Each structure stands twice: as C-alpha cells, then as structure tokens.
Amino acid sequence: MPKVYDIIIVGAGPAGLTAAIYTVRGGRKVLVVGGIAPGGQLMLTTDVEDYPGFVQPVQGPELVRMMRDQGKRLGTEFLDEKVERVNFKKQPFELETTSKQKFFAKAVIIAVGSDYKWLNLPSEFVSSIEQVFTKLRHIPESIFSWINFSFKFIKLE
Ligand SMILES: Cc1cc2nc3c(=O)[nH]c(=O)nc-3n(C[C@H](O)[C@H](O)[C@H](O)COP(=O)(O)OP(=O)(O)OC[C@H]3O[C@@H](n4cnc5c(N)ncnc54)[C@H](O)[C@@H]3O)c2cc1C
C-alpha cells in the first residue's frame, strides 16, 4: 500500500518552505519535493535586508537553511528531486519524480516560483560565472546548488 501524504508541496523556495511550516504545524503529513534548486532564488543572493525579524542582513542561503531546518524540526519530509509528472485526475493525486518514484497526496501545493527569460547575451554568461565565484567564496556549502543553477542559466542543461 503506497504512503499517502496529506499534502505534497512542489518547490522548496521561500513559498514552499513557508507552506510546509504552516501545514505541518496544522498537524498534516507533509512532503516537500524541492527540484534541482532546493532553496529557490534566495540561494542566488547575499544580503537580504527586508525580511522581518532580522535586524542585521541575513545571507540568502542561510535564511533558506533556517527555513528548511524549521520545517524539518516540525516534521516536514524533504526530497530534492524534480516532479516530472502529475496526475490530478484521480484521488489521491499522483506525482512522479526524476528517479521515477511515485508519491501520493490528498492535496498538492505548487510553489515552483518563476524563471528568467534570458537574451543569450555573452554578458549574461559572464554574470552567472561571476555569481558562482562570489558565492563559492562566501558560501562553500552551497556549491552544488550554485553549479546546478548556473548551468541552468547558461542553458547547458
Ligand atoms: C539575485 C536575487 C536577489 C534577491 N534578493 C531578495 C531580497 O533581498 N529580498 C527579497 O525579499 N527577495 C529577494 N529576491 C527575490 C526572492 O528570492 C523571490 O521572491 C523568492 O525566492 C520567491 O520564492 P518562491 O518560493 O516563490 O520561488 P523560488 O525561490 O523561485 O523557488 C522555486 C522552487 O521551486 C522548485 N521547482 C521548480 N520546478 C520544480 C519541479 N518541477 N519539481 C520540484 N521543484 C521544482 C525550485 O527548485 C525551487 O526550489 C531575490 C531574487 C534574486 C534572484
């Protein structure tokens, strides 16, 4: 008998992680499937200065790590794979991930954020490489997310 979650959240950026914290605190069994860029766009930035509660700037990846740890502490399960197929025509809803695993849920929250429209200019390539090196200098633990992100940006994926 397959495991059925109350809620599966697709996307592990701030929206998905916030949804996880709220729903798991509401007593639901929650799985977050975070895609190839768990943490989302905040992984791409350094100082976040506009998040309430932080008197001093917090680094984007650090803020995301705290959100994820908070979700984990409350009982959220995480899977860093991409959802590739969904079937919303039957109950429970069915989701298939990159490794062809199937997951079932009574409800699904889609929080996949947005993507950029690139002009394919050489300066975009240079900019993404610069971002990688800046981030690697400051935040070595997020090497793999960065490499994934940057490859996506320069469309080598
Ligand atoms: C350089 C930069 C600096 C920024 N600075 C600030 C700032 O200082 N303050 C501020 O408030 N905001 C800032 N932002 C904006 C902020 O990062 C976004 O508003 C926020 O990340 C949006 O959150 P989200 O969860 O909606 O989407 P995202 O952060 O885009 O997350 C989307 C998630 O969905 C996942 N996903 C996508 N497709 C799938 C799939 N098929 N299966 C599974 N998962 C999937 C991705 O892997 C990712 O985890 C900045 C953004 C950038 C790029």
77 in a structural domain = yes
Residues 35 and 64 in one domain: yes
**Total domains present in the chain:** 2
Residue 34 CB less than 6 A away from ligand 1: yes
80 in any annotated domain = yes
Entry pTM: 0.82
> What is the structure's pLDDT at 143?
47
pLDDT tens across 18-45, in order? 999 999 999 999 999 999 888 999 998 8
Looking at the fold, whether 70 and 141 belong to one and the same domain comes out as: no
Extract the tokens encoding 14.
């701030």
Based on the fold, state whether residues 87 and 19 are members of the same structural domain.
Answer: yes
**Which residue's CA is minimally distant from atom 19 of ligand 1?**
41
Tell me which residue range forms the domain holding 147.
Answer: 122-153
Query: Which residue minimizes the CA distance to atom 29 of ligand 1?
Result: 40
Of 48, 37, 47, give the one whose Cα is nearest residue 115: 37
Closest ligand 1 atom, CA of 115? 30
